[in-house]
Amino acid sequence: MSNLLEATRVTKRFGGLTAVNDLSFSIPRNSIVSIIGPNGAGKTTFFNCITGFYVIDEGDIVFDGHSIKGKSPDVITKMGIARTYQNIRLFSNMSAIENILVGMEPRLHSPWFGPVFGLRGTKEEEEKANVDANQLLNFVGLRGKGDTLSSSLPYGDQRRLEIARALAGNPKLLLLDEPTAGMNPRETAETTEFIRNLRDEIGITVLLIEHDMRVVMGISEDITVLDYGQKIAQGPPVEIQGNSRVIEAYLGRGAAGSAQLSLKHQEAA
């Protein structure tokens, strides 16, 4: 099967509001795929459906050949989906390294009572976890900051730490919710490069929600546009840029012409 994730006709309602409506969506293996859309389009809700925060009302989501419908977030994470959050949600009173160690949960298997009896397996697993966590810390460029309290790290470092925590569980699919929000152009460029490396070097499939069009257009192979919970367009960046429905959704009818120009301009820059 070529698609890592296959969502078919997913619908999620909150009371009278349909946040995600009849959405079909697929992520090929080893790709970088983006979801864009105006505020309130249902992007984060869809993320929450994939990660099991919300139970979907209709449709099905199949990940790596198994349905994840109705499964709890921890089970889904153990199947290989990890995520970051739009507003960073680190364990703020834990150190950077502790955050990563918690992120390793999906691949730790020693019994809880191991430390009490000093079991060898437990000790070895913990030691290896510590080594791996430090490697991961270095990988995301936080060398030497392992003992820093995560809430006292600078903003950009917090974003990177959150990605490191997500990577710690060896996910197959990484969901990034606005990873460059609040970053300056240089940091944004670094992060974009970093995401590309994740795919190219480690082979992780990435699903991205992003507002910064430069990032989206620069690294995505496929873009899905949501508006009012519905898919209004899908295709490679070049197609999406020229799609008048997309521009309409973002800027309203009539603005389409000028917006098209500005998007093109952005890409050129």
Partner 1 sequence: MTLTQRLRGIDWISAALWVFRAVIIILVIVGTVRKLFLGVGTQYTTQDWLDFISSGLSQGGLYALIALGYTMVYGVLFMINFAHGEFFMSGALTSTMLVASTLSRSGFMNEQPIIYLVIVTVAAVLTSMAVALLTERVAYRPLRRAPRLVPLITAIGASFFWQYFFRGLFGSEIKPFPVPAILEGWITIAGITFLKVRFVTLVASLIALILLYLFIMKTKTGKAIRAVAEDKDVATLMGIDVDRTIAMTFAVGAGMAGIAAILWALVFRQAHFYMGFVPGIKAFTAAVLGGIGSIPGAALGGLFLGLIEAVGPPLFLEGLGIPAAHQLKDVTAFTLLVLILIFRPQGIIGERLAEKKA
Partner 2 sequence: MTRKEWSHLIRIGLLMGLAVLVVSVIGMVEKFNERALIVGYLTLGQLLLYIPALYAGYTSVPAGEHRAMPQRLLGGVVVGLLAVMPVILLILVASSWPGIRSYFVNISPNMVKILTAGKGVGPGIGLLAGEMAALGLIGAAIHLIPDRIRKPIVTAIIFTVGFALFSDVSLNIANQLFARKTVRVLFGTKGITPLATVIVFVISLVAASLWTWKGREAYARRQANMSSEQAKRSQRIATTVLMIVLLTLPWVLGVFLTDVLDRVGIFILMALGLNIVVGFAGLLDLGYVAFYAIGAYVTAIMTSTGNLGMGLSFWLAVPVAVVAATMAGIILGIPVLRMRGDYLAIVTLGFGEIIRVLVRSDLLKPVIGGAQGILNIGRPTIPGLTFTTPQHFYYLILLACLLAWFISGRLRDGRIGRRWMAVREDEDVAEAVGINLVITKLLAFAMGAAFAGLAGSLFAARVGTIFPNSFELLISINVLCIVIIGGIGSLPGVVVGAFVLVGLPELLREFDEYRMLMYGALLIIMMLVRPEGLWPSPITRREMHAAEENAAAVEAEHSSDIRAAVEG
From the list partner 2, partner 1, none, which binds 196 (C-beta under 5 to 8 Å, kind-based)? none
Q: Are 269 and 217 in contact (CB under 8 A)?
A: no
Segment 29-88, which members bind partner 1 (CB under 8 A)? 55, 57-58, 70, 72
Within 8 A by CB and 6+ apart from 256, the residues are 244, 247, 248
Q: Are 35 and 226 in contact (CB under 8 A)?
A: yes
**Shortest distance (Å) from residue 96 CB to partner 2:** 13
For residue 258, the tally of other CB atoms under 10 A from its CB is 11
Query: How many residues belong to the site for partner 1 (CB under 8 A)?
Result: 5
Which neighbouring-strand residues pair with 23?
10
Q: Between 60 and 132, whose beta carbon lies closer to partner 1?
A: 60
Told to check if 22 binds partner 1 by CB under 8 A, we report no
Residue ranges that bind partner 2, judged by CB under 8 A: 19, 39-40, 42-45, 47-48, 51-53, 72-74, 77-78, 82-83, 85-87, 89, 91-94, 98, 101-103, 105-106, 108, 110, 112, 114-116, 118, 122, 126, 149, 151, 165-166, 168-169
Distance CA 48, CA 56 (A): 9
From the list partner 1, partner 2, none, which binds 194 (C-beta under 5 to 8 Å, kind-based)? none
Burial 175-213 (b: 16+ CB within 10 A, else e): bbbbbbbebeeeebebbbebbeebbeeeebbbbbbbebb
**Shortest distance (Å) from residue 236 CB to partner 2:** 26
